[in-house]
Homo-oligomer: A and B are copies of this chain.
């Protein structure tokens, strides 16, 4: 209502404070979602974990779902920031084993540090509800996978590509579950290696020039 300079700091601080609160709440939510699963998590539990009152929580999120959605979105952004470069043009030219290293390793690392991510995807347990929003996340990841596949096997029809991407993603999610369940260390590393082996064996025949004789039954 008056000058610019004296007023800016306040909004900024407010925003900053708000951001801190939101981060705090999302972090608490992540923790509780991991422990109890999405459905079994109460907003009060999130607020408690965040050392904040329930009222405060509802000042930043209209409901429980919104928390999950925002959390998923942020994780996706983080993930892209953290290893979005995995899909650089140069990487796409790598031979499959190297590409898998370049793509899978940071993805695994990210998920080990943010196990909510998987929890949220499994939170899609209930079709229709939160799923809608979570699917954005899901779809976004699928698109990346489809991109790689399209590059490796440009001759595929759209349906084939889509199916292979779905399957690849499903394998990855399943393998990721095993990886997270394994105790960090040698066992986990071995599980990661096994996952890459699956993907390599599944995807390598796609490589162009391959004499695609689908093995007879």
For chain A, the count of residues having a C-beta within 8 Å of the partner chain is 45
Closest to A173 in B: B174
Q: Does A198 sit at the interface, judged by CB under 8 A? A: yes
Chain B nearest CB, measured from A47 CB (Å): 14
Contact residues of A between 161 and 217, Cβ < 8 Å to B: 163-164, 166-167, 170-171, 173-175, 177-178, 190-191, 194-195, 197-198, 200-202, 204-206, 210-217
A interface, over-half SS: helix
List B contacts of A97 (CB < 8 A). Answer: 215-217
Chain B nearest CB, measured from A158 CB (Å): 13
- A171 to B163 CA separation, bound complex (whole angstroms): 15
- A126 to B37 CA separation, bound complex (whole angstroms): 5
Give which listed residue, B39, B166, B178, contacts A39 with CB less than 8 A: B39
List B contacts of A81 (CB < 8 A). Answer: none
> When each residue 32-60 of chain A gets 1 if its CB lies under 8 Å from chain B and 0 otherwise, what string results?
00011101100000000000000000000
Counting every copy of the chain, the complex holds 4
Closest to A190 in B: B163
Chain B nearest CB, measured from A96 CB (Å): 10
- A205 to B202 CA separation, bound complex (whole angstroms): 12
Q: Does A122 sit at the interface, judged by CB under 8 A? A: yes
Q: Does A101 sit at the interface, judged by CB under 8 A? A: yes
Give which listed residue, B119, B194, B202, contacts A164 with CB less than 8 A: B194
- A71 to B167 CA separation, bound complex (whole angstroms): 29
Closest 4 CB pairs of A and B: A170-B174, A39-B39, A174-B174, A37-B125
Task: Identify the A interface with B (CB < 8 A).
Answer: 35-37, 39-40, 97-98, 101, 119, 122, 125-127, 159, 163-164, 166-167, 170-171, 173-175, 177-178, 190-191, 194-195, 197-198, 200-202, 204-206, 210-217
- 12 A–B contacts, CB within 8 A, in A order: A37-B126, A40-B126, A101-B217, A164-B194, A166-B191, A198-B198, A201-B201, A204-B214, A205-B214, A205-B216, A210-B216, A211-B216
